[in-house]
């Protein structure tokens, strides 16, 4: 659709995203196109109420599949909002901020409540993903530097923490061939190394200060409170619920007495399993202690995005005249060269 609209406006066909950023579309067209893009990306995130495929996909997938899904594939939805939906349709974005924010908040609370009642550890972690990705969307649609930077960082954090949780679930499943919480209990006394890794990743997932999850959630909540205090309060409730269900699950699996004889002789983690988890745990600590290393990299791009949505959105609603300059979002090397007038494609047919 944008391909043909660009031809109507400029008289030439192009799939160049920088050229598409320059399109000045009327508000009604932006609304319909934003809805189309947002629907596809919301399914991929997934946002409530399009989340129903995710828990089943995680439960049915092997460990490696769940790690890839949590660490990489789900982020394609949130990236799509940042790269396409917001900068291409800034006026429509401003119109839909309350709608997307409320869907994100519902996803946060709903995912947490559903995690409470899960009997399968992997299913619990899957529903926690619905809640955590709701935080990402809430931060993005706060439309301020703290919220968007926190949302982007939380995309990375979720991949690390939840990916590591799925690895840990896979490790225990290999030994017991079950993921039911009631089948465990008292494992910390038998497999202390496993319990240590499990504890670190669990605390990362609930946002303990000093670990990666705290930085992302804190920035998201700061940005959300600046944007809408009510949204911030509801989001903070989601943080509390996440701590409750994750710590409840950890306590049920790791502590107490061993009541199941099959847990008496479990083998602790192998060298291969330790080597697999060490890089993830190292990044969990590194991001928690030195978040500025990551935040500094995204500062310029986030500023460009906010300026485009806030300023560009007002321009499209109030005046049909195109802006004299427009800052691109997340510029790659080709984009920079074109902005400077030195890159290929300046005279596209």
pLDDT tens, position by position, 217-263: 999 999 999 999 999 999 999 999 999 999 999 999 999 888 888 88
| 120 secondary structure, DSSP code | B
Q: Which domain holds residue 188?
A: 22-318
pLDDT at 20: 80
Q: Give the pLDDT of residue 321.
A: 42
Residues 6+ away with beta carbon under 8 Å from 19: 6, 10, 348
Evaluate whether 245 touches 124 at the Cβ level (below 8 Å): yes
Please give the pLDDT value at position 125.
93
Say which residues have a Cβ less than 8 Å from residue 68's Cβ, sequence separation at least 6: none
Residue 229 in any domain: the answer is yes
Q: Answer yes or no: is 331 within a domain.
A: no
Q: Is residue 180 part of a domain?
A: yes
Structural domains counted in the chain: 1
For the chain, which residues score pLDDT lower than 70? 1-14, 312-349
Q: Is residue 8 part of a domain?
A: no
Asked whether residue 343 is domain-assigned, the answer is: no
Q: Could you tell me the sign of the dihedral formed by the alpha carbons of 56, 47, 201, 274, in that order?
A: positive
Does residue 347 lie in a domain region? no
Please indicate, yes or no, if residue 346 is contained in any of the structural domains: no
**Residue 348 placed within a domain:** no
Question: What burial letters (b/e) apply to 117-151, b meaning 16+ CB within 10 Å?
Answer: ebebbbbbbbbbbbbbbbbbbbbbbbbbbbbbbbb
Other CB atoms within 10 A of residue 342 CB: 9
Give the predicted TM-score (pTM) of the model.
Answer: 0.83
The C-alpha angle 98, 103, 105, rounded to 5 degrees, equals 95
Q: What is the pLDDT of residue 11?
A: 57
346 CB burial (10 A radius; 0-12, 13-18, 19+): exposed
């Amino acid at each position: 659709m944008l391909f043909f609209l660009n031809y109507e406006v400029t008289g030439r066909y192009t799939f160049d995203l920088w050229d598409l950023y320059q399109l000045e579309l009327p508000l009604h067209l932006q609304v319909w196109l934003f809805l189309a893009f947002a629907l596809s990306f919301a399914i991929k995130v997934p946002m409530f109420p399009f989340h129903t495929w995710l828990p089943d996909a995680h439960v049915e997938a092997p460990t490696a599949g769940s790690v890839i899904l949590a660490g990489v594939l789900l982020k394609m939805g949130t990236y799509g909002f940042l790269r396409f939906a917001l900068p291409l349709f800034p006026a429509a974005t401003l119109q839909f901020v309350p709608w997307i924010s409320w869907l994100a908040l519902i996803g946060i609370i709903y995912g947490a409540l559903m995690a409470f009642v899960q009997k399968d550890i992997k299913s619990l972690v899957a529903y926690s993903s619905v809640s955590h990705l709701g935080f990402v969307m809430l931060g993005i649609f706060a439309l301020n530097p703290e919220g968007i930077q926190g949302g982007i960082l939380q995309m990375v954090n979720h991949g690390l923490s939840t990916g590591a949780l799925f690895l840990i679930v896979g490790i225990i499943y290999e030994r017991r061939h079950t993921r039911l919480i009631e089948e465990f209990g008292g494992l910390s006394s038998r497999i202390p190394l496993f319990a240590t890794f499990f504890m670190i990743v669990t605390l990362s997932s609930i946002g303990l200060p000093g670990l990666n999850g705290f930085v992302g959630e804190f920035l998201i909540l700061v940005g959300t409170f600046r944007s809408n205090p009510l949204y911030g309060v509801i989001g903070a409730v989601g943080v509390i619920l996440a701590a409750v269900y994750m710590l409840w699950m950890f306590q049920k699996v790791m502590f107490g007495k061993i009541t199941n004889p099959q847990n008496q002789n479990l083998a602790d983690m192998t060298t291969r399993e330790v080597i697999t988890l060490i890089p993830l745990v190292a990044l969990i600590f590194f991001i928690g202690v030195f978040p500025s290393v990551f935040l500094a990299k995204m500062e310029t791009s986030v500023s460009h995005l906010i300026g485009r949505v806030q300023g560009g959105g007002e321009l499209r609603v109030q005046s049909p005249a195109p802006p004299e300059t427009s800052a691109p979002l997340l510029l790659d090397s080709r984009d920079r060269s074109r902005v400077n007038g030195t890159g290929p494609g300046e005279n596209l047919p």
